[in-house]
Every structure is written in C-alpha cells, then in structure tokens.
Amino acid sequence: MKGVRSLLKTTAIRLSLIYASIFGLLAVAIIFYMTGSTIKIFEAQIETSINAEVLELEQVFIAGGVNRLVVEMERRSRGPGANLYIVTNPAGVIIAGNVANIQSGVLDQVGWTGKPFQYSKFNNTQSNKYLAIARVVEISNGMHFLIGRDISQSETFGKVVKRALIFSLVAMVVLGLATWFFVGRRALKRIDMVSKSTNRILAGDRSERLPLSGGGDEFDRLSSGMNDMLDQINHLDKGLKQVSDNIAHDLKTPITRLRNKAETALTGKMTAANGRKALASVVEECDILIKTFDALLMIARVESGSTTAKFTRLNLSKILVDIVELYEPLAEESVLDFKTDIAVDIMVSGNRELLSQAMANLIDNAMKYSTKKKGEQTSIQISLQRNSKGALISVSDNGPGIPEDKRDHVMKRFTRLEKSRTRPGNGLGLSLVKAVVQLHKGTIVLGDNQPGLVVTMSFPTI
C-alpha cells in the first residue's frame, strides 16, 4: 500500500490523473453530442418525409374526400416499413389506420407532436409499446388524420453508438492507467536508486556514483551529468585540501620563527638595545607573513576570476617595456644584462596591474636564479612576439633550470625547489603567474633553456 501511496505522489502520476480526468470529461461530452446529433439527423429526415406525405394525402383528400383518403392510407400502411396512419372522426375516435392504441392526448393537438409518444401495433400483443413522432392534420369537416414514424430504430442506433463510445473510453482509461502505473513505477524505481546513491554520498562515501541503466535515456543523461559534477567536486576538494595543508605547513614555519625570536628575547638579557633589536626582527617577520598572506589572497582572487570585470584594452608591449625598465637598473647592478626583443603595439584584453605583476615575478625569478660567471656577461632574454595564436612572451635565464618532472609542481603554491631555502621568496611567485595567465585565457609552459629555464606564455590578442 505504501508503494501505491508513493506512486500517487509522483509528478508523473499526478499529471496523468489530471490529464485523464480532463480527457474523460471531454469524451463524455463527445458521446452526448454525437448520440444527440445522430438522433436529430434521424428526426429531421423523418419530418421531411412526413411533411411530403401529408402534402400528398391532403391532395388525395381534396380530390376524393375521406373515402379516398382512407383507401389510400390502408394501401400505404400495408407496404413494408410503413409509417403510422390514423384517421379520426370529429369526436376523436379512430376510424382507420394501422395503430391499435395510442398515448392519450396525442391526437387532440394539431401539428407536430413535441415529444416522442408511445403506441402499440395490431399484430403484436398490446402490451408492446413503441415510440414514434408524428404530425396531426385537421381536415375541413373536423376530422383528424395523423402520419407518424417509429423512431425505435434511431433510438437503437443512438444506443449502439453510445455503447461503443463508452466501451472504448473505458478501455482507454484502463489501458492508460496500466501504462501510467508501469511507467510511473519504473521512473519511481530509478529515482529511488538515485536518491539512495545521493544519500550514501551525503553520508560521506565520496566514491559513490549515481547508477546508470546504460540505455542512454534522460535519466542516464541526468545521472552521468551529475556524476561528472561529483568528479569535479572531488577534484576541487582534493586540491583545496592540499592547498590548505600547504598553507598550514608553510605558515607555521615563519610563525615558529617569530615565536622563537620573541622567546629568545624574553629569556635573554633584556637591555634596551637588545629589546629594540628583537622587536625590529619580530616586526620584520610579521611583514614577511603579511606579504605571504597578501600573495595568497591575491592568487585566490585571481583564480576565482573576481577581477575579470575590470579588463581593459591594453598595450602588452608597453607593459613589458615598463617592467623591464623598472628592473633594468637592478639587473645592471647585479652584473646582469637584459636582452630584450619586444615587438611594438601588441594589444590584449586584460588587467594591467596583474599582468605587470606576473612579468615582474618572472623577471625577479630569472634574476634570482641566474648563474653569474666571472668575466662573462650573464644575460636574461625577454621577448614578446606575435604569432598565429596571439602574443608570445618568453623569459629565459641561464640558471639551474627546473627538471622536467618538477615543472608542473613548481606552479603550485609554496613549492620551492631549493631545499635550503636560502634565497628570499615565499614560493608563491609562479602560482600567481599561472593564475594571472589563466585569468587572461593564456597558456604557460616551462621549458629547458640549456642551461636554465625558459618560461613561455601565450595570450590571445585583440
């Protein structure tokens, strides 16, 4: 019983029931209309033929009086499928015709009998009643004659039509209900399976997936779409977990350092100079932490794409030239040489601040890792070219480079290949570059400069 109740609750069944009732009402209306109009057509035919006969018989009466009329009626009433004929005297007593008995009152009114009336025939037992409609005509000497027609035939026909229609309607309803029941139960079963799976997923089983029937129907399409969504959520979830693990780990290190510095100052000999020195280094550590947080927030914001709305048309060449100009004096100071090959007026759609920072990070990295040899000019190559795909930027150095298997890894947050971590940096530089490139719908590839690293980025131009 519970199954039936839940079946009744399904949308499919409810809609079906609504449609079925509307359909049923319409069908009943059609039955009434059809039987009604069938009878009307019959009656109209009868009226026409009776009117014609009345005219003929009136002619007969005018020509030959009552006797000829009675003779003619007797003749006609003997024919096969004859109409009803009655002639009465002025007192209303039947004097001729083929009707044994007639419903009282019918003969009193001249003209068409409004409703069908009952009568009985001679050759049958008198109790057998038949239905007919008729026209009563008064002739000059106060006598009446009636011409009528049995309508039992048309009534029967109407009944047959009605019965056929009712039968087909009932059959349709029964078949429909059976189909709905079957389809609804199938749908319900599939939905039950899906909701069981989602319950397991909700309960924490992340590997659970929605069942597929393999038929490729709309349920399968929906389920496989949801499965893809679950895969993506799992993937993101894993990424998030890894990132938060990294963050926790990498922020713990500077915070521990901060704590150690403060503790050393507290336990050591407290002089004004010592205290000042310790506080200064504590502030310095705090600044580093703040910078790391800022960088993390920035990456998160860029990755979430919340700055996309502020894209404008930009001259990428000018952005790169400006950044090179910013770093060139510093490079020269550290005996580095910038070799630039920047094509002019390459336009992209983007955010100047973010693109500038990405370029700055790359140049900063290149300078940090360049290997300086005595008596030799070390150079960093920076180029911007237009190719078939768009704008191509490359920044290359002659440093230690990045082994091929680590190249994807270094673009993740907090990855630093140097174990000793002697060079300054927080391991977030390349992560931001990657996020910025992706925000600008570009690509980034790390390659081998033999020796050194070459970072190649491409951006769509406008």
Partner 1 sequence: MKILIVEDDADAASFLVKALGESGHTSDHAADGETGYHLAESGSYDVMIVDRMLPELDGLSMLKKIRANDDQTPALILSALGQVDDRVEGLRSGGDDYLTKPYAFSELLARVEILSRRKVSDDASTSLKVADLELDRLSHKVTRAQTAILLQPREYRLLEYLMQNAEKVVTRTMLLEKVWDYHFDPQTNVIDVHISRLRAKIDKDFDVQLLHTIRGSGYMLRAENG
C-alpha separations of 460 from 50, 174, 381, 432, 457 in Å: 93, 64, 22, 19, 10
Locate 94 and state its tokens: 């039947």
Binding track over 249-288 against partner 1, x by CB under 8 A: --------------------------------------x-
**Which is closer to partner 1, CB of 86 or CB of 439?**
439
Check residue 229 for interaction with partner 1 (CB under 8 A).
Answer: no
Are the C-beta atoms of residues 363 and 382 closer than 8 Å to each other?
yes
**Which listed residue (25, 26, 266, 330) binds partner 1 by CB under 8 A?**
330
Coil, helix or strand for 159?
A: helix
Q: Which stretch binds partner 1 (CB under 8 A): 10-18, 75-83, 93-101, 293-301?
A: 293-301
Return all residues near 399 (Cβ < 8 A) that are at least 6 apart.
366, 369, 370, 371, 451, 452, 453
How many residues contact partner 1, by CB under 8 A?
25
**Which listed residue (24, 176, 275, 425) binds partner 1 by CB under 8 A?**
425
**Which is closer to partner 1, CB of 148 or CB of 429?**
429
Cα gap 411→437, rounded to integer Å: 12
Cα 378 to chain centroid distance, Å, stands at: 61
**Which is closer to partner 1, CB of 327 or CB of 459?**
327
CB 304 to partner 1: min, Å: 12
Alpha carbon distance, N-terminus to C-terminus of the chain: 67
Cα gap 312→351, rounded to integer Å: 6
Coil, helix or strand for 408?
A: coil
Binding track over 358-397 against partner 1, x by CB under 8 A: --x---x--x------------------------------
CB 360 to partner 1: min, Å: 5
**Which listed residue (3, 105, 114, 329) binds partner 1 by CB under 8 A?**
329
Locate 300 and state its tokens: 């998160």
**Which is closer to partner 1, CB of 425 or CB of 447?**
425
Are the C-beta atoms of residues 211 and 194 closer than 8 Å to each other?
yes
**Which is closer to partner 1, CB of 204 or CB of 424?**
424
Cα gap 96→146, rounded to integer Å: 10
Q: At what angle do helices 429-439 and 272-304 cross, to 10 degrees?
A: 30
Binding track over 339-358 against partner 1, x by CB under 8 A: ------------x-x--xx-
Check residue 83 for interaction with partner 1 (CB under 8 A).
Answer: no
Task: Give contact residues for partner 1 (rule: CB under 8 A).
Answer: 287, 290-291, 294, 298, 301, 307, 310, 322, 325-327, 329-330, 333, 351, 353, 356-357, 360, 364, 367, 424-425, 429
